[in-house]
Every structure is written in structure tokens, then in C-alpha cells.
Structure 1
Amino acid sequence: MVKVLSELVNSDRTAKIPGFYDCIRPLTPHEDALYNPIVEDMFNNPSGQRHWDPLATGVTKEELKRKLMARWRNPSLTIHQVDVSGPKNRTVIPRSAKASVSMRIVPDQEVADITKSFEEYVRKIFGELDTENEIEINIKVVADWWLGDTEDKFFKAAESAIEQEWGQKPLFIREGGSVPAIRWLEKRLKAAAVHIPMGQSSDQAHLNNERIRLQNLHSGKRVIKTFLRELRSLEVPYNQNQQ
């Protein structure tokens, strides 16, 4: 298992899966420009970065932008857990081992193509080990990628609502995934989705003592109300002849 896992990622942290980076949507000038105010904010307000200070690390603005792109817009492969059978005694040789691996896909990757390439690659690596052991691959959860359009009327309405509440325009980031239903709902309902976060980076999301500040909660409720009012002003007049 260790040998197989060691062949999944290069030393530069890129995935070795064949074709893994073939279908990534090119970076547009509009998207590239969205990173600039984020980078400026991180450099101008280093005290607001709870886990990382770019000034203390000596990272340049361009390097920081590339790091953010690696985190937000590029696909990734992560080995989460390795476990073995038996009593977990150090001197007992386990009968079997298993590992949990996830892959984040981005526009315009296809889930079926990535999972197929992953399975074929793992079996190839395992076959080269010339071992009497067996390997089993189970794809437990799949979800399509989702990306909002910051230029459509719904995002513009959300931007206006947030600015009215907080007194400044929001920063658009490509984070907040792991919501498999979003893409499906967009296709099913033929309606655009918008993510409006309410918390802070210090909210311990999914960790012990997860929380949300009351100010953010109440402001978030007002943002939603304003957002819905903004949408109402954009509605097409109702026509009784329409179905």
C-alpha cells in the first residue's frame, strides 16, 4: 500500500495520474484580476491572517497568487488516511491495509474520466510490484465541479447586498466546495447558484468548538433579505400567458 501511495504524487505535490491536468479551464484575465484585491488585502492586513503571515515568510505577491490558485482553482489529490487490520499492535503484521484518497476536480474536468484514469493507473502501479497480494479500488462518492459566474445578475445582486451591509465590496474566492448537490441542482432546476458565506476564517469550521459570531449571523440574515429584494427588482414582469 505504501509503495502504491508513494506513486500517486510527485515531489512538487502534483498528481501523477495520467491526463489529470489535461482539461483544466484556462485562466481568463477577468479571473486573474479577482486575485489581486485578495493578495493586496493579505499583504496590507497581515494581522488578519490567522494561520499565515505572507510578510514573515518572504513570499512575493505573485508567489502568493500562485499559491492561492493552487489551493482554489487547480485540481488536487490528497491521501487522507491509511489504516491496517488487526489489534494495531506494533509487532503484529496486519493482514490487510486500506487508504482513503480524494481528488478535487475543477472546470472542465469530467468525473468519469478522472476516476477511470485513477483506477487504471493504480492497477498499473500495483501490477509492477509483482506481488502475490491483491488490490481493490472502491469509488465511494463522486460529485461534479461547480463554479459561479461572478458577472451574472445573481452575483451582482449578492455583491450589492453585501456592500450595503458591510460597507465594502466582497472578495470573490474559489473556496467553499464539498457541496455535491449544487451542480446537480443547477442542472435540475435550470437556475444559478450563489454561495454567500457568513462566518470568519477563525470559526473552526468542522473542528472542535465550531462557531459563528453573532454579528456575522445577524448581518448574514440582513444580507439574505437585501439579496432577495435585489433579485425581486430584477424579475421579469409576470405574464399570465406564460406557463
Structure 2
Amino acid sequence: AQDWPQFLGPNRNSTSPQKGILRSWPETGPEILWTANIGPGYGGPVIKDGKIWARGANDDKGQSFTHFKSVEAFYKATGTLPLNIKFVIEGEEEIGSSNLTKFLSDKKDLLKCDAILISDTNMFQPGVPTITYGLRGLLYMEVEITGPNRDLHSGSFGGAVANPINELAKIISKLHDKNGMVTIPNFYKHVMKLSKKERENFKRLKHSDKNFAKELDVKELQGEKGFSTLERIWVRPTLDCNGIFGGFTEKGAKTVLPSKATAKISMRLVPNQDPQKIAKDFEKHIRALAPKSVKVDVRNLHYGYPVVAPLDGDAIKAASVAASKAFGKKTVFTREGGSIPVVVDFMKKLKAPAVLMGLGLDSDNIHSPNEHFRLENFEKGIISSAYFLDEFSKT
């Protein structure tokens, strides 16, 4: 889609000096198997145990829908809206939102605004209103290793020809050192250091490594040495192998020496890291690690820049007050390890601050079977959004 349906709310002809953009997307990834006897996933939502169970229930249909419902409720109650509202809806985030940047450039006059409100992030803990002010960037690469020109019999050729799976596994094993640091040259050269104030704020959030590990059913946590868990997942860059395949993967046994092996590798990046520069450094590093007995192909699938927003703007202050009123608790400010590449595009193209008012939880199984969204968060999200309209209109 090269153009999107745009909906200007019932106040489209208002002369209100303030405008807000409420922007989210129905984001769902590739087809996911529904594993519990709860509902059809795609076919329609099921409400059970105080949660909505459905594909994209949290990410991002449920969170997006709170803003539509808040506008509806506000308009029904008052007959008007306190400011101008524009919705931008797109569904290509999982494939890089390749058309959105052009759309924002082409329609920047139509989309002119004072704030951008996005709900696509998580709450720090259940019941704790949370504003996310920082996101890591993303670089997604694919590495293909080719050996012989066809699949071979391992009995006839094993020991004489390089096995692409073996060589790819060796390369992946060398992408981190013993301290958990990424070995790509210059990977950390421009990484922004965490301020003393932010580090103290992270400590006040009272994160529990023990509970974190228990929830994930792992015996211990692991990562770059010298940093806390919150620092490692929020403000430090990482590299992970997301998938590896090649050779015979079906049931049973087949003694194949494969022709090809492929790995999908993503990097989460932090402020001052340039994904395009790191993509080039990554390719050079992979080629340097590969033996001459194989051919290497490295592809940049997509990327997005990291972002950190200031905490002293009118929009983020209004969102903080709104969330506190809705949940009855003090709002906390967090950074998040995930990426929303288009946030940077929105801010740059429209020259407006973005506010990330998240309503999801780590336990909601986004991008996984049995995704769900708490009804409590859905309802309080509607209230938060309505309070935001009121609070921001006063600035």
C-alpha cells in the first residue's frame, strides 16, 4: 500500500491551537500456531480470565483501540473534542514499514501536529503506569554460507569438503567474546553512556533478577558483564541469532552434507550507533571469519534507528499525569529494549515529540502463540487516553 486511509476525527474543522496524532498499527508477524484450547486466534477474540485472547490482542490491536474508544467516549460525553486529532494507521511494521517514510514526507502538511501519541510498548509491572522514553534501534541481517554446488552424501564426501552448517556455527560462535561483548570491530565506538541520573532511576524501579529468571524458567541470567539486567536490555547494544537452517530438518535421519546454511541475525542498537555503518562492519567481520572453502552472502533485510526522548516536554508531562490519574499510581519512566523504527521517522518528518504510553505486559505473549491483553489495561488505557486529551489541551 502506497497510501493509507486517513481519518480526521469529528473535530476536523476545529480552530483549536493544539493538535495530537494518535498513531498505532495492527502489527502481527508471520502465521503463528495457536497452542492452547482458548480460541481460534485469527478467527475472533475470546474473553477469558480477565483477558482478551487473540492474534495481535496486545501488539497492537488492543493498545491502538484504546485511543479510538477514548475519542468516542469523549465525544459522546461532551459533544466535542478538546483538540484536533488525526489517526495514522498502517500494517507494515513487521516488514519494515517501507512505505511509511514516503507517506510521511508526502503528507507532512496534512499531518502537521504538536505531539505524536503511540501505544506499542509495555508497562514496567502490572498496574504501574509507564511512559517509555527510549527505544533501541534494529539491524536485521541474513548470512548465507555455500559450500559444494549440491547436497552431498556425508559418507562419500564428509571430511573432504567444508560443511556449511559447521562453518556457519563456528562463525556465530565467534560473534561474542567471553565477557558477552559483540566482536564486530567498532561496534561500541559511538555507544552513548548511561548517565548517573538514569542509572539511579533504574535502581529505583526495583527490578528482581530472581523473579525475572523464574518467570522465564531459566536457572540464571546471562549477558554482557559489568551491567545490570535493565541496562543490558534497555541501553546496551546486543547481537542475537534469530534463526538457523540448512540440510535435513525433517523427521528421521538422512546423512546429508548440505550445500547451503543460513542464519538470521539481529542487532539491537542504542543512541549514536548507525545501523547502516554497522551493517557494513558486520559484513566485513563475517567475511573475515569465514574460511576460503565456502562462499559468503550477507544481506541487510531492514534496519531502524534508536531514539531517546526528552522528559521535560508538554506532551510527555501530560501523558504522565493522565496515566497516573487512570491507574491511581505514580507514573514511572523507562527505556525499552525493543524497536519501533518509525518513531524516528515520525519525529523527524513531522518535527514533533513522540510519547510512548504503553499498556502491554511482558507476559502477554506478543508475537507468540496465545497472545492476550488484560481487560484492566484495556479499560484504563481508554481512560488514560481521554485524560491525555484533556491534559494536553491545557498546555
TM-score normalised to structure 1 length:
0.82
Of the three residues 150, 159, 176, the one matched with 1:9 is: 176
Report if aligned partners of 1:50, 1:201 keep a CA contact under 8 Å in 2.
no
Distance 1:48 1:137 in 2: 35
Distance 1:171 1:51 in 2: 22
Match of 2:238 in 1: 76
1:56-95 matched pairs, under 5 angstroms: 66-85=228-247, 88=250, 89-95=253-259
Alpha-carbon distance, 1:143 to partner: 0.9
Alpha-carbon distance, 1:105 to partner: 0.8
The one-character-per-residue Cα deviations of 1:38-66 (angstroms, maximum 9, x if unpaired) are 12x649xx87997169xx97xxxxx9971
**How many residues end up aligned between the 2 structures?**
222
In structure 2, do the counterparts of structure 1 residues 188 and 205 end up closer, same or farther at CA, with 3 Å as the change threshold? same
Distance 2:285 2:199 in 1: 33
Report SS of the residue matched to 1:136.
strand
In structure 2, do the counterparts of structure 1 residues 161 and 65 end up closer, same or farther at CA, with 3 Å as the change threshold? farther
Match of 2:285 in 1: 121
The structure whose residues are more often helix, as a share, is: 1
Alpha-carbon distance, 1:109 to partner: 0.8
Match of 2:205 in 1: 38
In structure 2, do the counterparts of structure 1 residues 47 and 107 end up closer, same or farther at CA, with 3 Å as the change threshold? closer
Of the three residues 339, 356, 370, the one matched with 1:209 is: 370
Of the three residues 304, 307, 327, the one matched with 1:143 is: 304
1:156 aligns with 2:314: no
Alpha-carbon distance, 1:159 to partner: 1.0
In structure 2, do the counterparts of structure 1 residues 160 and 139 end up closer, same or farther at CA, with 3 Å as the change threshold? same
In structure 2, do the counterparts of structure 1 residues 4 and 177 end up closer, same or farther at CA, with 3 Å as the change threshold? same
Task: Name the aligned partner's letter for residue 116 of structure 1.
Answer: K
Task: Name the aligned partner's letter for residue 201 of structure 2.
Answer: L
Identity across matched positions, percent: 28
- Residue ranges of structure 1 left out of the alignment (5+ in a row): 58-62, 235-243
In structure 2, do the counterparts of structure 1 residues 19 and 47 end up closer, same or farther at CA, with 3 Å as the change threshold? closer
In structure 2, do the counterparts of structure 1 residues 171 and 78 end up closer, same or farther at CA, with 3 Å as the change threshold? same
Match of 2:261 in 1: 97
> Which of 1 and 2 has higher RCO (CA within 8 Å, sep 6+)?
2
Distance 2:341 2:272 in 1: 16
Task: Name the aligned partner's letter for residue 356 of structure 2.
Answer: H
Report if aligned partners of 2:248, 2:254 keep a CA contact under 8 Å in 1.
no
Match of 1:25 in 2: 192
The one-character-per-residue Cα deviations of 1:98-128 (angstroms, maximum 9, x if unpaired) are 00000111101111221111111111111xx
Task: Name the aligned partner's letter for residue 35 of structure 1.
Answer: F
- Residue ranges of structure 2 left out of the alignment (5+ in a row): 1-167
The one-character-per-residue Cα deviations of 1:174-193 (angstroms, maximum 9, x if unpaired) are 11632211111110010111
TM-score normalised to structure 2 length:
0.52
In structure 2, do the counterparts of structure 1 residues 160 and 65 end up closer, same or farther at CA, with 3 Å as the change threshold? farther
Report SS of the residue matched to 2:308.
coil
Alignment RMSD: 2.7
1:191 aligns with 2:320: no
The one-character-per-residue Cα deviations of 1:188-233 (angstroms, maximum 9, x if unpaired) are 0101111111122322222211111111101001101111211111
